[in-house]
Chains A and B, each alone.
Chain A
Amino acid sequence: MNKVITVTGGKGGVGKTFVTVNLASVLARLERKRVLIVDIDVSNPCVSTLIKSDVERRKPIKVFRPKLLNEKCVLCGECVRHCPVHALLLIPTKKLIFIETLCEGCAICLYVCPVQAITEDERTVGWINVTSERNLTRVIYGELVPGNRQEGEVMERTLEFSKQYWDNYDYVIIDTPPGTGKGIMRAIEESDLILSVTEPTRLGLHDLKKLHSLVKKVGKYEIVVLNKYGIPYGDYGEIENFVNSEGLKVYKIPYNDLAIRSYFEGKSMLEYGMKYETLKGFREIANDILL
């Protein structure tokens, strides 16, 4: 039996990865549980660098791309007319141009070309990386190759691939990018528990509300992690009202010098000792979710 937890939050920079890394370190080092972190922030995956683990296995994610055979092309423009994302361009009587950054890999061009001037080719849009296990913790992360649009594809395939490892771990923690899109919904659907990280600012609350409606739609148990608690001039009252009216449980992670220092030095707070208030928040969360 394992427990799958998605750490998400709507807004960027609220501390999703911070929560992931610290919760994992409390579970693994203090509770001696085996933890698998699945990092699907494929635009900028950072968990593995923060917990300093080395990649032991790598797998490319490939999608269709057309290969144009210019000697066969009759410049009829059929592919240009049908391409739903305008990734093909015709300079009349001269040349057919393919714009790779626009291509979503549907292969319609392959099927509509009347003279077989387009053949099947592929390109790598992302990578799935598996790190070796260190301190009872392993990281699997997806990585989008810059310049490609298929972040959703890379997120979903990384999540799907990671499942073959799930049985070996007590906890699976999925760290998501900001937002409320399809890839995040997929992660939520796979989880037993959602940790919605937010900060006491107006923008943090605004994005938390949108995310909360997504979690509610999927129908999962949600706990709010109010990070940066105590930051000067924060909007505390409104967040309090919101979580109360929605009946959400809240854990607070205080804003203090240690939290800032660990964030900017890229270390988990456990590495600075255990007497601090901030770590207490993570221990409370861990106790709450302990199997």
Chain B
Amino acid sequence: MIKEVVVASGKGGTGKTFISSNLAFFIRHHVNKGVICADADVEAPDLILALGGIREVIRERRFYGTKLPVIDYSVCIKCGSCVEACRFNALRMSEKGPIVDYYSCEGLGTCSLVCPVNAISFKEKAIGKIIVAKSGVNLLTVTGDLEIGESNSGRLVYELKREARDLAVKEGVNYVVVDAAPGIGCPVISSLSGADVLLVVIEPIPQSLSGARRLIEVSEKLNVNWYVILNKYDLNVEFSKDILNTFKSKVLGMIPYDFEVIVSYSKMTPLLSLKPSSSTSNALKKIFNNLFEAMK
């Protein structure tokens, strides 16, 4: 049975990549199990950097997640069915026939379907790529990269997670760690679909708490069990107490604010490897042990 752990937060910059990179390292070197890492923040993919960068690309492919309608004006009878059917206002009628606003188009194909004379066909458009690589600290990582200005990141994340799970089966590995995008939108829903556990990373400020609450609401709708990790707790001890009181036993542990984390990014090495016995590393280990206890 593969266990899929997703690290997310409603707000950005709370420490998702910090937690996921160290969790992956912990699973490999402390639990001594195999792990596949997946970077599901395809608009700003950073996980592989935290894991030592790309040592070796195993394979890379383009991802065609969007279809764009192409109108054959020699066939079009200008009936306007497509303009009326489109729910995204991506079509408007002109002298020569309907014109597609490619910014608004979601590529779902309603226009083509309702066209009575088959004047609308689709061409596939590459919106990003999926890379399977061995990272600098020797962890298999699936990372994605969405083209700038694209939507449909959810579909890229879905595909990327499938790649990670297939890889886990092939390698006989039991754990997949997914570093999700900030927020609660489409890519985060794709990250959470089918996951076993969500780790919600919170820092002690109201914006982070409100984001976490919204994320937990999504997670409960998708029936994914969740736990909280309180990061940088010592920056606002009073508010941290409120968070502990709010989530009680759902809190796996607290991590202090530590400039060494910046060093670990700079050196592209997980903190658990760089400073294995620092107080922050000890806090991480305690939290991950609690997680494994909870997942039993």
- Are A144 and B184 also in contact (CB < 8 A) when A106-B110, A207-B44 are? yes
Check: B106 CB closer than 8 A to any chain A CB.
yes
A residues lining the B interface (CB < 8 Å): 10-14, 17, 41-44, 46, 49-50, 63-64, 82, 84-85, 101, 104-108, 111-112, 144, 146-147, 149-153, 156, 177-186, 201-203, 206-207, 210-211, 213-214, 217-218, 231-235, 260, 263-264, 266
* Residues on B with beta carbons closer than 8 Å to the beta carbon of A151: 183-186
- Which B residues touch A210, using CB under 8 A? 43-44, 148
B45 nearest CB across to chain A (Å): 9
List the interface of chain B (C-beta within 8 A of A): 10-14, 16-17, 43-44, 46, 49-50, 85, 87-88, 103-104, 106, 108-110, 113-114, 146, 148-151, 153-154, 181-186, 188-189, 204-207, 210-211, 214-215, 217-218, 221-222, 235-236, 239, 259-260, 262-263, 265-266, 268
Q: Complex Cα distance A14/B210, Å? A: 18
Which residue, of A85, A149, A156, A179, has the highest number of chain B Cβ atoms within 10 A? A179
Residues from chain A with Cβ under 8 Å of B211 in the complex? 43-44
A63 to B108, CA, bound (A): 14
Residue contact A12 to B204, C-beta cutoff 8 Å: no
CA A61 to CA B117, docked complex, whole Å = 33
- How near does chain A come to B183, taking the closest CB pair, in angstroms? 3
Partner of B262 from A10, A85, A152, A233 at Cβ < 8 Å:
A233
Give A181 to B144 CA distance when docked, in angstroms: 14
Q: How far is the CA of A17 from the CA of B14 in the complex (A)?
A: 14
Are A44 and B113 within 8 A (Cβ)?
no
Contact, CB under 8 Å: A12 / B151: no
In contact, B214 and A264 (Cβ under 8 angstroms): no
Contacts of B109 in A (CB 8 A): 84, 106, 108
Asked whether, in the complex, the Cβ of B110 is within 8 Å of the Cβ of A108, the reply is: yes
A30 to chain B, nearest CB (A): 25
Q: How far is the CA of A151 from the CA of B38 in the complex (A)?
A: 22
A182 to B151, Cβ gap below 8 A?
yes
A106–B210 alpha-carbon span in the complex (Å)? 31
Chain B residues with CB below 8 A from A111, complex form:
85, 110, 113-114
Inter-chain contact A46/B210, CB cutoff 8 Å? yes
A85 contacts which chain B residues (CB < 8 A)?
Answer: 108
Contacts of B85 in A (CB 8 A): 107, 111
Q: Known: A43-B182, A111-B85, A233-B266. Contact between A180 and B207, CB under 8 A?
A: no
Q: Is the CB of A10 within 8 A of B44?
A: yes
Given contacts A14-B13, A44-B183, A264-B236, 14 further A-B contacts (CB under 8 A): A12-B11, A13-B14, A41-B183, A46-B11, A108-B110, A146-B217, A146-B218, A152-B151, A179-B43, A179-B181, A181-B153, A184-B149, A185-B149, A233-B266
A180 touches B146 (CB 8 A): yes
Q: Are the CB atoms of B149 and A177 closer together than 8 Å?
A: no
Query: Does A149 lie within 8 Å of B149, measured CB to CB?
Result: no
Residues of A within 8 A of B17 (CB): 203
Verify A231–B262 contact, CB threshold 8 A.
yes
Cα distance A41–B108 in the bound complex, in angstroms: 25
Closest 8 CB pairs of A and B: A13-B13, A12-B12, A43-B183, A151-B185, A179-B43, A106-B108, A44-B211, A185-B149
Contacts of A12 in B (CB 8 A): 11-14, 16, 44, 182
Our pick among A49, A218, A231 for the contact of B259 (Cβ within 8 Å) is: A231
Closest chain A CB from B28 CB (angstroms): 21
| A264 close to B12 (CB less than 8 A) | no
**Least CB separation from A14: chain B residue:** B13
- B206: which A residues are within 8 A, CB to CB? 46, 49, 266
Asked if B148 and A263 make an inter-chain contact with CB atoms under 8 angstroms apart, the answer reads no
A80 to B16 Cα, complex, angstroms: 36
How far does the alpha carbon of A156 sit from the alpha carbon of B106 in the complex, in Å?
13
Q: Which of A13, A186, A218 lies at the interface centre, i.e. has the most chain B CB atoms within 10 A of its CB?
A: A13
The CA-CA distance from A5 to B148 in the complex, in Å, is: 20
Closest to A50 in B: B207
Of the candidates B49, B103, B108, B263, the one having the most CB atoms from chain A within 10 angstroms of its own CB is: B108
Of B10, B149, B204, B222, the residue contacting A181 (CB under 8 A) is: B149
How far does the alpha carbon of A271 sit from the alpha carbon of B134 in the complex, in Å? 49
Decide if B13 touches A64 in the complex (CB within 8 Å): no
| A to B CB contacts below 8 Å, 23 in the list | A11-B12, A12-B13, A13-B12, A13-B14, A44-B11, A44-B214, A46-B11, A46-B207, A104-B106, A149-B154, A151-B184, A153-B88, A156-B104, A180-B149, A185-B149, A202-B49, A202-B268, A206-B46, A210-B44, A214-B148, A233-B260, A233-B266, A264-B236
| B14, chain A: closest CB distance, angstroms | 6
